[in-house]
Structure 1
Amino acid sequence: MPDALAGLYQQVILDHSRARTGEGPLPDAAAEHFERNPTCGDEITVRIRLASGSDRIEALAWEGDGCSISMASASVLTDLATGRTLAEMGEVTETFRAMMRSKGQGEPDEEVLGDAVVFQGVSKFVMRVKCAMLSWVALEACSTKIAARA
């Protein structure tokens, strides 16, 4: 990744960590899940509300405390998840997970990941991957809880 692009990606992460999309409570959530990274202490609770009679995510909200990477990742996830079905987000999450396991190699699918491609550089730092994945894992758990009720 060129240095200029890496710098831009770092700036997007910092911007999302400061001006957080989706942070706060969510009344009438269909599911919620708490995740904690015991290595660094990051914590997050993700809540989702579905559109009436569907599995489309009407709203995703989160509350948490942690590093700029985990908070920015939750913010980006909010933007990506809103309006998509649980199945679609399952596919997006798998693409994000593959990128996070890539150790910075290859080109992430920007069409699928949107702004989440900014975390490609994070994948080079094994200790930070869980920070970026925290909210995504919580969303997966929310989806599993909803599927178990169906």
Structure 2
Amino acid sequence: MELKQLYREIVNDHNLTPSHKGKMDNPDVILQGVNPSCGDNISLYLKIEEGVIEDGSFTGVGCAISQASVDMMLDNIIGKSAPEALETADNFMRMIKGESLNEDEMEDLDECALLSDISHMPARVKCAVLGWRTLEEMLK
């Protein structure tokens, strides 16, 4: 399977059948993120126990990339400590800016690494980072 086709299938899957979309009951933290340039918006919900992200979900509307990216992000960060999630977010932001990541950093991104080509699509970068920026604001 060609990488671009795999990318499209995974983004479509996370957009059309997201694992983490829905309002969470009794979250420990909630924050809204908005991309004013295109109207994408999300509310990110996290349950954090003893510094570990135990669960997460999101609600909102937006393009396929913004919705898929936040769903992929939650797949990646649930079970990580807040500092580990922030490190993953930093790796993602660096990748999206077109910076080179080492093998361990790319492995840390797991499926999110498939969004690396967005660095070549400036108009889509804000879409891809919406959930990640919201996460950073929540945890800092």
Q: TM-score, normalised by structure 1?
A: 0.86
Partner of 2:54: 58
Matched, 1:5 2:3: yes
SS at match of 2:118: helix
Aligned-residue sequence identity (percent) comes to 28
Matched, 1:37 2:35: yes
- CA-atom RMSD in angstroms: 1.8
Equivalent residue in structure 2 for 1:123, among 119, 123, 139: 119
Q: Deviations over 1:16-72 (max 9, x none)?
A: 101112111112211111111111110001010012xx1100001100100000000
SS at match of 1:28: coil
> When the two structures are aligned, how many residues end up with a matched partner?
139
Equivalent residue in structure 1 for 2:72, among 72, 76, 79: 76
Q: Which amino acid aligns with 1:75?
A: D
Structure 2 residues not aligned, in runs of 5+: none
Moved segments of 4+, more than 2 Å: 105-110
Paired residues of 2:11 and 2:68 also in contact (CA < 8 A): yes
Cα distance in structure 2, aligned partners of 1:16 and 1:143? 24
SS at match of 1:20: coil
Q: Which amino acid aligns with 2:9?
A: Q
Q: TM-score, normalised by structure 2?
A: 0.92
Larger radius of gyration: 1
Structure 1 residues not aligned, in runs of 5+: 145-150
Q: Which amino acid aligns with 2:112?
A: A
Partner of 1:148: none
Partner of 2:22: 24
Partner of 2:81: 85
Cα distance in structure 1, aligned partners of 2:5 and 2:106? 17
